[in-house]
Amino acid sequence: MERLVIDIPEKKSTEVKQMLRDMGVTIQQESHVTTSDYKQKLTTVSTWSADDVKFFEESKKVFENLKPQQW
């Protein structure tokens, strides 16, 4: 499949889309992301507390201090 982006005059949009569908073309709806939507989405990103980070730091130190067993 090839992706094609075209600009269609408003008055011809419905006709062109119907002709393309008749030929088996899949038409994806254009997604408009506004700045406020993007900012809102960013606010839902989780953050780690100091305790979370402390756990990883302690685990890192323990792992680094492991000594391989000699057989």
pLDDT tens digits, one per residue of 38-55: 888 888 887 888 898 999
For the stretch 7-30, pLDDT in tens is 999 999 999 999 999 999 998 877
Q: What is the dihedral sign for C-alpha 40, 45, 46, 50?
A: negative
| Whether pLDDT at 67 is above 90 | no
- The residue among 38 and 71 whose pLDDT is bigger is 38
Q: What gap in Å lies between CA 12 and CA 33, rounded to an integer?
A: 25
Q: What pTM does this model have?
A: 0.41
| Whether pLDDT at 34 is above 90 | no
pLDDT of 36 reads 83
